[in-house]
Amino acid sequence: MEAYIGGVIPVSTVDWPGMLCSVVFLAGCDFRCPYCQNAGIIGFESKHLQRLSDIKKKLSDGRGFVDAVLFSGGEASLQRQALNNLACFAKQMGMKTGIETNGSRPFVIKSLIEDRLLDFVALDVKAPLE
């Protein structure tokens, strides 16, 4: 299986309060905020296609050192199947999982919570600049 991946940070000390985490940036976003810090990954571009097996390898490399995996973007919930697949993998490795989301797909977040695939949700509230 492939997904649009904007990048992976193997170890972050700032993205999850009190935890060492890996951050997976899933490309693609349904918003076009003029101040986006990740504007380079808001489109679903072929250059971002990666095999999930490659991403899983990067995540497993941190096992025993990294406590959690945080899914960010873009908007990670737009790639529901890939997000679910990676969250299941992280849980099987005994890691906590979280997401940074704009909240545009609450049914995806709800499903992940109900399936016990999310431990942490950071909601990035958007508003017009004026």
Residue 119 sits in a domain of what CATH number?
A: 3.20.20.70
Q: Is residue 130 in some structural domain?
A: no
Residue 69 lies in a domain: yes
Strands (DSSP E) contained in 13-118 are: 21-26, 49-51, 68-73, 96-101
Q: What is the pLDDT of residues 13-66, one digit of tens each?
A: 999 999 999 999 999 999 988 888 999 999 999 999 999 999 999 999 998 899
> Is residue 84 included in any domain, yes or no?
yes
> For residue 90, is it within any domain?
yes
Contacts of 116 (CB under 8 A, 6+ apart): 91
pLDDT digits (tens, 9 = 90+) for 84-116: 999 999 999 999 999 999 999 999 999 999 999
Q: What's the half-sphere exposure (Cβ side, CA atoms, 13 Å) at 123?
A: 7
Q: How many domains are contained in the chain?
A: 1
| Other residues' Cβ atoms within 10 Å of the Cβ of residue 85 | 16
The structure's pTM equals 0.94
Query: Does a structural domain hold residue 128?
Result: no
Domain that holds residue 102: 2-123
Label residue 1 by pLDDT band (50, 70, 90).
very high
